Structure 1
């Protein structure tokens, strides 16, 4: 009788009772983020420009400090992003979820995207990669702001959709590394033919394709997933 009289409450209980294997991506995602950060952060912890994996452009003394700033805020964004999509935290500790969300927005995504926009303009990987990274930074900033605005307006359905997009862009740096290996494998045998022996041309081609596929494909997957869930609710 209780279930019949209160269908909304029943739906809430069903969501909370969903077993972990219905969301098998939660724990692997946390592990992937951890492994990525353990691998990526050490060269920058000593604040030594000589250890940077991204060379600074000539005459741009500001580049390395802004790069480190971007990496620091992006690290906070990635950790809090993994916490935000953890169903247990959302359901059992909503206050912690909200506070972690504010950290993600104001101490992670927004400052990281602003710094990312600046370094994208001067990155030494060619114009194709620069355009891609500028768009990535702008979209990440815009989706995050919109997600925060809709949460403040208590439009939680819209909030969730915008934050899914923001999270996809935030974590796209991981797929970026995967695509770098893929495109390097494709183009290295063609150095002497397609690129006429020019390593600079090949590097720019690899970097350009890597940056575009790194964030466009995760965003498309996020849009597909959001559309799929909406169709299931209709």
Structure 2
């Protein structure tokens, strides 16, 4: 009689999914998003143009109305996005995930992105900031639509990749504001030297730098995150084949 003995390493190992409290980034992300919306949204719900945090250009009287709608739709995108990337919520409530996904796309990103294009063209902070805003709006719309299309085709791995990019662009408004603070602190002492006392030039410079770094760095981080995950999957496949 021949006994066949399996090597312990050949037995399948089951990995339990982390619980919702084991995702340390979920709660802080939601808190930051809610706090940002709570700070940013009220002035634009007041219907008072004097409370706008972005100066309106003289050639565009409807700037405040368009900007207010953009902020409202962008806030919807930010809040629903937190639910969409929460693994526990996706796994536990798939139907709710699909519903909030439609809200994220059609009541958040799409109208918010289209209005962002209008606001970008009327950007009061100069051409560098305006160019960044146009590119950001186009990428935001493109990544979101691609993710929605992949879900419709049931290509869920591709859907996840595109929606991670969309998430990075949705939340980039937060990093934009953080960079603004950093550059104000850094460049304000140089007002009389580098900028020759021209405050408008300094504001345009800060706006341009913050606008580009605000979304480029989060998008690069999202790509690194995706490539890191793909590399880990390839290593697992190699180990399993071996």
- TM bin, normalised by shorter chain, reads over 0.9
Residue aligned with 1:79, SS? helix
- Tell me how far apart the structure 2 counterparts of residues 51 and 195 of structure 1 sit (CA, whole Å): 28
Rg bigger for which structure? 2
- The question of 1:231 aligning with 2:240 is answered no
Which structure dedicates a bigger proportion of its chain to helix? Answer: 1
The equivalent of 1:83 in structure 2 is 83
Q: By how many angstroms is 1:20 displaced?
A: 3.9
Residue aligned with 1:47, SS? coil
The equivalent of 1:108 in structure 2 is 108
The equivalent of 2:142 in structure 1 is 142
Q: By how many angstroms is 1:77 displaced?
A: 0.4
Match runs of 1:117-196 below 5 Å: 117-196=117-196
Give me the CA root mean square deviation.
1.3
Residue aligned with 1:120, SS? helix
- Tell me how far apart the structure 1 counterparts of residues 58 and 175 of structure 2 sit (CA, whole Å): 29
- The question of 1:72 aligning with 2:47 is answered no
The equivalent of 2:198 in structure 1 is 198
Residue aligned with 1:70, SS? helix
What TM-score comes out, normalization by structure 1 length? 0.92
Q: By how many angstroms is 1:63 displaced?
A: 1.1
Q: How many residues align?
A: 223
TM-aligned CA distance change 1:58 to 1:44, over 3 Å: same
Moved more, 20-29 or 204-213: 20-29
The equivalent of 2:96 in structure 1 is 96
Render the CA deviation track for 1:47-92: whole Å, top value 9, x for unaligned. 1101100011013112111101101110110110011011221010
Please list every run of 5 or more consecutive structure 1 residues that lacks an aligned counterpart in the other structure.
Answer: 1-6
Render the CA deviation track for 1:133-164: whole Å, top value 9, x for unaligned. 00000000000000000010111000000000
- Tell me how far apart the structure 1 counterparts of residues 143 and 22 of structure 2 sit (CA, whole Å): 27
- Tell me how far apart the structure 2 counterparts of residues 21 and 64 of structure 1 sit (CA, whole Å): 41
- Tell me how far apart the structure 2 counterparts of residues 146 and 37 of structure 1 sit (CA, whole Å): 26
Match runs of 1:9-88 below 5 Å: 14=15, 17-20=17-20, 22-88=22-88
What TM-score comes out, normalization by structure 2 length? 0.89
Moved more, 223-232 or 39-48: 39-48
